[in-house]
Chain A
Amino acid sequence: MRELSCIQAAYEGLEKEISRDQNVYLIKKENIFNKKFFEVLNNDILKNDKVISTPKSEATIISSATGLALIGLRPVVELNQIEDIFLAFSALIDQAAKLRYISGGKLMFPITYLCVENNVYNDNDGQHSDNPYSFLIHGGMKVVIPSCACDAKGLLVSAIRDNDPVAVFLPTRVLAEKGEVPEEQYTIPLGKAEIKKTGSDITVVATGHCVNIAIDIARKLEAEEGISVEVFDPRTLLPFDKETLEKSISKTGKVVIIDDSPISCGFASMVSSILMEEYYEYLKRPVRRITREDIPIPFSKSLKKYVLPNSEKLENAIRSII
């Protein structure tokens, strides 16, 4: 099977959906940064007349996607600066996530927010470095975060075909990672986690690029010390696949959660609280969280290292529990 990078796979899926479904449109901000990414894409997506370039008015663009959905379109809004989510916070949390419910369940908003992250791992400063998906989860919006090229294409297609707002985060450190990607259009259902590596001693719940960190550490610990680590990739953060988590935790009884967003009220806290409330009887040890600190991301590399999740922290956490 041929190999594509994560971003190529995602955009291949996107392009095919645009061609397949007359209602799918791509809304993107005209931005120099785009060109760098589109160089790797090697396709004609920009020439499609269902691709609309907009000025820099983030809140309005994202809110107007709600208007497009209102009259039957299925907009995909591309966000390549994560702070756009902050600027359009009201449009996302107070409009897109709420309006179907408030309308009495009568209206439908099949919008996809494609968040191509260009953040701290590309040496951007702290105001371009967020992973704001925990905010969207708290607002009740579906969130998906693939960790590899194959998942990226299938999940993005499912997100576009889903009839609700879905935010798809493509993490920076995964964008260029290559993997085998089927040529045909396919879906990976939302709400279905995947065990990326089976194990029996400890479950590591990992999101985005932290999945790769977890797999590396898992292989290392198995080879060097015979510790058998199971890597659980939720893939969809909301709806979260509790059943697969239960299967894993009932086997291992020990959990470390590694997630690249701030700790307080973040996704890691949500998973931990599910364990503490619903699967407490399986737990034999404390539930450790490896996340970002609750502070802005500093610019200097050494300071950055201190605040971000990384493999040493994960390894130490695993050892502290085993």
Chain B
Amino acid sequence: MREIRYLQAVAEALNNEMKINEDVIVMGEDVRESLRGVTKGLYNIFGKDRVIDFPISEQGMIGCGIGSAISGLRPVIEFQINEFTFFAFEQLILQSQRLRFYSGGKIKIPVTYIVPGSGARGGISGQHSDNPYSFLIHGGMKVVIPSCACDAKGLLVSAIRDNDPVAVFLPTRVLAEKGEVPEEQYTIPLGKAEIKKTGSDITVVATGHCVNIAIDIARKLEAEEGISVEVFDPRTLLPFDKETLEKSISKTGKVVIIDDSPISCGFSNEVAALIGEEYFSKIKAPVKIIARADVPVPFSEPLEEYVLPNSEKLEKAIYMLMGRTNA
């Protein structure tokens, strides 16, 4: 099977979906020239009525997206910068997430929000490095965060075809990663996690690019220390696949959660709380969390590295839970 980059897989998914379904339109800032690469070439193929550049007015843009979704279109809205989700937060949560409910279920709002290049890109500092998905989860919105090219294509297609608002986060540190991606259009259902590497000693719940960190550490520890690590990639953060997590925890009894958003009230807390409430009897040790510190991402490299989740921290957590001292 051919190998393509994650970003290419996403662009391909969107391109194909626009061919299949003429209700799918793209809205965003600089999406015609495609600053972020997701919408490259779409304007030339589908024209000005299906690929729309907006002025820098995020609230207005999301509002337009909601309105066009209610009237039958299927907009895919790109946030050029992660923190633009904050500008439009009221429209995202109070409007797009809730209007269907308040209408008594009569209207549907099939919007897809794409956040390309989410997370810390290395030197873009505190106001461009967020991974704001925990905010959206708390607001009740469906959120997916694919960790590899193959998942990215399938999940984006599912997100577009879903009849509710879905936020798709494309982590910056995996955009250039290559992977095998089928040529045809396919879906990966929302709410289905995947075990990226099986193991029996400890479960590592990882999101986004942290999945790759976890897989690397898992291979290393298996080869060098004989520790068998299972890597659990939820892929969809809301709705979260509890059943697959339960299976994994029942097997291992130990959990480390590695997630690239601030710790307090972040996704890592949600998984830990879920385990504490519903799977308490299945674990044998404390839950360990590796998340971002509760600070904006600093600019300088040693500072930035210090606050973000990384492989050393994960390795140390695994050693602690396995009752061994760090090598």
Contact = CB atoms under 8 A, between A and B. Distances in A.
Interface of A: 83, 86-87, 89-90, 93-94, 97-98, 101-102, 125-127, 134-135, 137-140, 238, 261-262, 264-270, 272-273, 275-278, 280-281, 283, 285-289, 294-296, 298-299
Nearest to B278: A286
Contact of B272 (A102, A261, A277): A277
B16 to A, nearest CB: 32
B87 interface: yes
B140 A90 contact: no
A90 B87 contact: yes
B126 A265 contact: no
Nearest to A86: B90
Contacts of A268: 273
Contact of B140 (A86, A125, A264, A273): A264
A126 B90 contact: no
A298 B105 CA distance: 12
A90 B90 CA distance: 10
B276 A272 contact: yes
A285 B126 contact: no
A289 B94 CA distance: 24
Contacts, number: 150
Contacts of B287: 273, 276-277, 280
B13 interface: no
A199 to B, nearest CB: 21
Contacts of B101: 126, 295-296, 298
Interface stretch (B44-52, B168-176, B258-266): B258-266
A127 B140 CA distance: 13
B276 A287 contact: yes
8 contacts: A87-B90, A89-B90, A138-B134, A266-B265, A272-B277, A277-B288, A285-B280, A288-B277
B103 to A, nearest CB: 11
A276 B276 contact: yes
Contacts of A87: 89-90
A93 B135 CA distance: 11
Nearest to B127: A94
A265 B277 contact: no
Contacts of B298: 101
B26 interface: no
B98 A90 contact: no
A267 B183 CA distance: 44
**Across the A-B interface, the 10 shortest Cβ-Cβ residue pairs:** A273-B272, A280-B286, A286-B280, A272-B273, A89-B89, A269-B273, A86-B90, A90-B86, A273-B269, A287-B276
B95 to A, nearest CB: 8
A98 B293 CA distance: 13
Given A98-B126, A280-B287, A269 B269 contact: yes
B90 A83 contact: yes
Contact of A278 (B268, B285, B286): B286
A101 B265 contact: no
B127 A102 contact: yes
B73 interface: no
Contact of A86 (B83, B89, B127, B295): B89
A262 B94 CA distance: 14
Interface string B53-94: 000000000000000000000000000000100110110011
Contact of A101 (B126, B134, B138, B273): B126
A295 B239 CA distance: 13
Contacts of A138: 134-135, 138, 261-262, 264-266
Interface in B118-144: 125-127, 134-135, 137-140
Q: Which among B90, B287, B295 has the highest number of chain A CB atoms within 10 Å?
A: B90
B264 A94 contact: no
Contacts of B266: 138, 265
B326 interface: no
B318 to A, nearest CB: 15
A90 B280 CA distance: 37
B273 A289 contact: yes
A296 B105 CA distance: 12
Given A272-B277, A299-B102, 12 more contacts: A90-B83, A101-B296, A101-B298, A102-B125, A140-B264, A140-B296, A264-B138, A265-B138, A277-B272, A286-B281, A289-B277, A295-B101
B276 A273 contact: yes
B285 A280 contact: yes
B267 interface: yes
Contact of B269 (A94, A98, A265, A278): A265
Given A273-B268, A295-B140, A102 B126 contact: yes
Nearest to B294: A140
B238 interface: yes
B18 interface: no
B140 A262 contact: yes
A98 B127 contact: yes
Contacts of A139: 262
B231 interface: no
A135 B280 contact: no
Nearest to B268: A273
B30 interface: no
Contacts of B296: 97-98, 101-102, 140
Contacts of B281: 286
Contacts of B94: 83, 86, 127
